[in-house]
A = this chain, B = another copy of it.
Amino acid sequence: MELSEADIQPDLDRRKPGTSRHVTQRQEPDTVEILSGVYEGKTTGTPIALLIRNQDQRSKDYGNILETFRPGHADYTYWQKYGIRDPRGGGRSSARLTAPAVAAAAIAKKWLKQQYGTTFKGCMSQLGELPIVFESWDHVPNNPFFAANVSQIDALEAYMDALRKDGDSCGARIDVVASNVPVGLGEPLYDKLDAEIGYAMMGINAVKGVEIGAGFACVAQKGSQHGDEITRHGFLTNNAGGILGGISSGQDITVSIAIKPTSSIRTPRQSIDKLGNPATVETFGRHDPCVGIRATPIAEAMLALVLMDHALRHRAQCGDVKVERLVDPQ
């Protein structure tokens, strides 16, 4: 298919730092370069390599991090696993490593759109203690929070400003949706579609919870309420979140994730140093006070990569199965 950097850059720009006062002030252009797999503007079928270089690293910012461990940060586990740590931008544990996933997913999104009309959208549904009321997808690109809301933006801004002033951070809940998903994606038993979504989402930095469809609310539901009734013209509800038995049903796939508060904060905290001695840790680098603010395009990206993978597998396995679709796409 046709492919150029211009297909990839917009999603990277949605994720990149430095775009509002509520995120890290590091200036990373996040410019992507296609290294291979494209010839005269078309993919050749061979592997596509992308390169995004880091630009704005101030190693001195990380000076004091090297000797102590930030509570809630991978500092400690990396040190205990490897006995060596690359502190620049957090090294391998940095959310910066989600940029390549966003870039790769931009290609997956383009392909899924061409093949099936599949589209992706996402929004923040809670910022710290503030639930964000869903008003319209149209609002999402018009505020720094990816909120599907216009009336709460001032309150969100004020909440973040207070947090920054306090030298503290907060969590967020992100919702993502894939629409026009083909029916039949996902494997029986192993590599179920929901299992792979669980893997992809829980693998995003700072994610501590994943829900599909009704999520944890299903615990208190009755079977007569949870099971989505079926008509020829569509399902009547979507508690399943578009997946039944690990296989897509053709309904929207709906996923929510919980993102923990940033661990790099100015507030002093109790910890130890590399020798095991007690230490007080305060962090002064340019960190996001809420990593969830930039997480929406990342969560969309992970969902797109999982669907792309399963769309290819489905074609391998069921290439010759032509089962009439019984329920209209919604």
8 Å CB interface, A30-69 against B: 35, 39, 42-47, 51, 69
A113 close to B (CB within 8 Å):
no
Check if A173 is an interface residue, CB within 8 A of chain B.
yes
A residues with CB within 8 A of B: 35, 39, 42-47, 51, 69-86, 88, 91-93, 97, 115, 126, 128-129, 163, 168-173, 183-184, 186, 188-190, 192, 194-203, 205, 207-232, 236, 239-241, 243-250, 258-263, 265, 267, 269-272, 274, 276-278, 289, 312-327
Given the interface pairs A86-B39, A224-B269, the reply to whether A212 lies near B214 with Cβ below 8 Å is no
Q: How far is the CB of A322 from chain B (nearest CB, A)?
A: 8
Q: In the assembly, what is the distance between CA of A85 and CA of B200, in Å?
A: 29
Docked CA distance A326–B147 (Å): 42
Smallest CB separation, A181 vs chain B (Å): 11
The answer to whether A129 and B199 touch across the interface, beta carbons within 8 angstroms, is: no
Q: Indicate the member of A77, A200, A274 with the most B CB atoms within 10 Å.
A: A77
Q: How far is the CA of A316 from the CA of B317 in the complex (A)?
A: 8
Collect the chain B residues with CB atoms within 8 Å of residue A272's CB.
Answer: 230-232, 326-327
A249 touches B209 (CB 8 A): no
CB nearest to A197 among chain B residues = B202
A-B pairs, top 9 by smallest CB distance, nearest first, are: A74-B245, A72-B227, A198-B202, A195-B203, A169-B223, A198-B198, A199-B199, A71-B227, A316-B316
Whose C-beta in chain B lies nearest to the C-beta of A289?
B223
- 30 A–B contacts, CB within 8 A, in A order: A43-B84, A44-B85, A44-B86, A45-B318, A46-B189, A47-B92, A72-B223, A74-B245, A74-B246, A76-B244, A79-B323, A80-B250, A81-B183, A81-B247, A93-B188, A170-B222, A170-B223, A194-B207, A195-B203, A196-B199, A198-B202, A202-B212, A208-B214, A209-B215, A211-B258, A218-B259, A224-B265, A230-B272, A236-B270, A272-B327
Q: In the complex, which of the residues A186, A218, A232, A272 has the most CB atoms of chain B within 10 Å of its own CB atom?
A: A218
Whether B80 contacts A219 by the Cβ 8 Å rule is: no
Q: Which residues of B contact A197 (CB under 8 A)?
A: 202
Contacts of A219 in B (CB 8 A): 126, 128, 171-173, 258-259
Determine the chain B residues whose CB is within 8 A of the CB of A72 once the complex forms: 223, 226-228, 239-240, 244
